[in-house]
Amino acid sequence: MRITCPFCGERELGEFTYLGDAKPARPAVDAGEDAVFDYVYLRDNVAGAMSEHWYHGGGCRAWLKVTRNTLTHEISVVEPAAGVGAAKVGA
Amino acid sequence: MAEFSWEVRSPLERALVAGPYGARGDAGVSLTEIRNFDLVQVMARRGKAADMAGAAKARFGVAAPARPEAVQISDAALIWSGPDQFLVLSKGGKHAIEQLSQAFASSASLSDQSHARVLISISGAKVRAMLAKLSSIDLHPASFPIGAAAATSMDHTSVTLWRGNDRTDGQAVFNLLVFATFAESLWHTMLDSAAEYGVTIARSEELA
Ligand SMILES: [Zn+2]
Per the CB < 8 Å rule, is B44 touching A87?
Answer: yes
Q: What is the pLDDT of residues B96-141, one digit of tens each?
A: 999 999 999 999 999 999 999 999 999 999 999 999 999 999 999 9
Name chain A contacts of B68, Cβ cutoff 8 Å: 7-9
- Record the pTM: 0.92
Among B85, B112, B139, the domain-final residue is B112
| CATH number of the domain encompassing residue B107 | 3.30.70.1520
Distances from the Cα of A88 to the Cα of A33, B4, B44, B78, B90, angstroms = 32, 45, 11, 22, 29
Q: Give the ipTM.
A: 0.91
Q: Any idea what the Cα angle at residue B175 is, between residues A84 and B70, rounded to 5°?
A: 50
Residues of chain B contacting A, Cβ within 8 Å: 43-50, 52, 67-68, 81-84, 136, 150-153, 156, 158
Whether residue A61 lies inside any domain: the answer is: yes
Domain span at residue B172 reads: 19-35+115-204
- Give me the numbers of helices (H) and strands (E) for chain A, helices first please: 2, 6
Please give the distance, rounded to the nearest whole angstrom, from the Cα atom of residue A57 to the centre of ligand 1. Answer: 8
Task: Give the number of domains in chain B.
Answer: 2
Partner-chain contact A86 B68, CB within 8 Å: no
Which contiguous run of DSSP H or E holds residue B41?
A: strand B38-44
β-strand B29-34 against A2-5: which pairing, if any? Answer: unpaired
Which range of residues forms the domain containing residue A76?
A: 2-80
Write down which residue in B79, B112, B145 finishes a domain: B112
B27 & B121 share domain: yes
Question: Would the CB atoms of A58 and B47 count as touching at under 8 Å?
Answer: no
pLDDT above 50: residue B25:
yes
